[in-house]
Structure 1
Amino acid sequence: MKTPSYGELTLNGLWKNNPAIVQLLGLCPLLAVTGSVVNALGLAAATTLVLICSNTAVSIIRNVVSDAVRLPVFVMIIASAVTCTELLMQAFAYELYLILGIFLPLITTNCVILGRADAFASKHAIGPAFYDGLSMGLGFGVVLIVLGALRELLGTGALFADMNLLFGPAAANWKWVLVADYQPFLLAILPPGAFIFTGLLIAGKNLVDRQIKRRQDALRAAPVKGAKRVRVTGTIS
C-alpha cells in the first residue's frame, strides 16, 4: 500500500477527512463536553495523546499480530493509552478530570481512534502512523475548540473561563469578557445548541469545499492564455 505524504496526512486530518465534520466520528464527546473552551481543550489533548500512542504501538506490532486477534489487541492498546492519559490528568488537572468525567474512559470506544488504528496504523510504518495520529487528533481537537468557543461565547458572553483548571493558577485571569451584563443564551450551552453549531460547522465546510471545486472547474474550463486558434482548411476528395 502506498504511504501518503506528510502533506497529504496533514490535509486529510485537518480538512479533507476530518474525523469530526467529515467522518462524523466521536460525536458523543464532541457534543457533550464542548460547553466551554477549557473542557474542549482538555478532551482534545487527551484524545490526541491517545491517538498518537495507539497508532504508534499498533504500527510497531502490525507484522506480529494475526488477523484473528487484531481488533482485541488494538482495543487493549487503546485502553492502556487511555488509562495512562487519565492518570496524567488526575495528577496535573484533577478538577478538569472530574468535570470531563465518564467521557475520558469512553475515549477507549471512540470510533476515531479504533478506526485509525485499523485503517491506517496497522498498514503503515511507525513515522506515518505517528503523524497520522497527530494530524487526526489535531483535526478533531480544532473542531472541539471551535465548537467550545462558539458555545461559550454565545452562551455566556465570555471566553476562556476557568482556564486555570488546565494551565494552573497562572491562567486564572485569562477570562475574556466580551459583553458586560450579558444575558446568558442557554440554548448555546445546552445539548441542542451543540447539535445546531455542529451542523453549522459541517454546512460551512461543505460550502467552502463547493466554492473551491467551482473555482477549480472554472480554471480547467478557461482557455489557455496566449493560445491561438488554428483554422484548418482543406478539401476532401
Structure 2
Amino acid sequence: MTIGRRAYGAGLLLLQALLLTSCGPQPTAVTNTAAAATPDVPAPPAITPVAGPERSVLAFGDSLYAGYGLARGQSLPDAIQARLRAQGLNALIVNAGVSGDTSAAGRQRLSFALDNLKRKPDLVLLGLGGNDVLRQIPPTETRANLAAMLGELRDRKIPVILTGMRAPPNLGPDYVAAFDRIYPDLAKEYGATLYPFILDGVIGNRSLMQADSIHPNVTGVTRIADRLAPIVAERLKEGG
C-alpha cells in the first residue's frame, strides 16, 4: 500500500484516524524469542512433517502482501506459508503483491498473473483497496474493480479469501459507509470467505507497526498471519 510523497502526509492523517476505529481490542506486543523460556509463554507447537499433494495459493494484493519495508522472506504470504507447512500442509504461496497497487491496477493484471502460473491455484488471497482509500478514489470504482476480479475468479472456479480494508472517519460518513460495505457485500455476492479488516489487531499498536504507521513490521505480520493462516488452512482442506 505504498504511497508517493504527495499522498504521504494525507495517508498518515487517514491512518491516524483509522487507528481510532480499528476492529477489536488492541493487542500487546508479541514476546520475543529470548523470552520464550519464561513460564508465561507457551512452547512452540510441534512441527508436523509436510505431506500430501502440493496446494497452490496466489496472494494477490498491494504492499501489505508484498512485504513493504521488510526483509526478504518476512512478508505476510511467507508467514502464512510457514504456518501451513508447520501444520503438515504441503502449501506453496505465490506472492503477487505489488506495492502501490490500487484496485484498478490489480484488475488490469489479474488475468496475466493467473495465466502465467504453472497451474490454476487452489485458492486466491485477494487484498486490494487500501491505496484507493489513500487516494480517495470513489467507492463505486473500488467496488466495480473488486467485483470484476471476484467475477473472473468465480468464472475460473477458484475459491477466494477476501481480506478487507476500512475507511477512516475523517473522509465523512457517506464515504465510510459506502466503502466499508464493499467487502461484506461482495464476499456474500461472490461466495468468498471474508476476513473483514487485514490490519485488525495490529494497527494502532506501535510495537507492531513500522515507523510510517501504515505498514506492519515483522512482528505485526506475525500477528496477522496467526489469524489468517487457520482460515487459509480450512479453505484448502475444504478443497480436498
Calculate the TM-score normalised by the size of structure 2.
Answer: 0.23
Calculate the TM-score normalised by the size of structure 1.
Answer: 0.24
Select the structure of larger CA radius of gyration: 1
The structure, 1 or 2, with the larger RCO (C-alpha pairs under 8 Å, 6+ apart) is 1
Higher strand share: 2
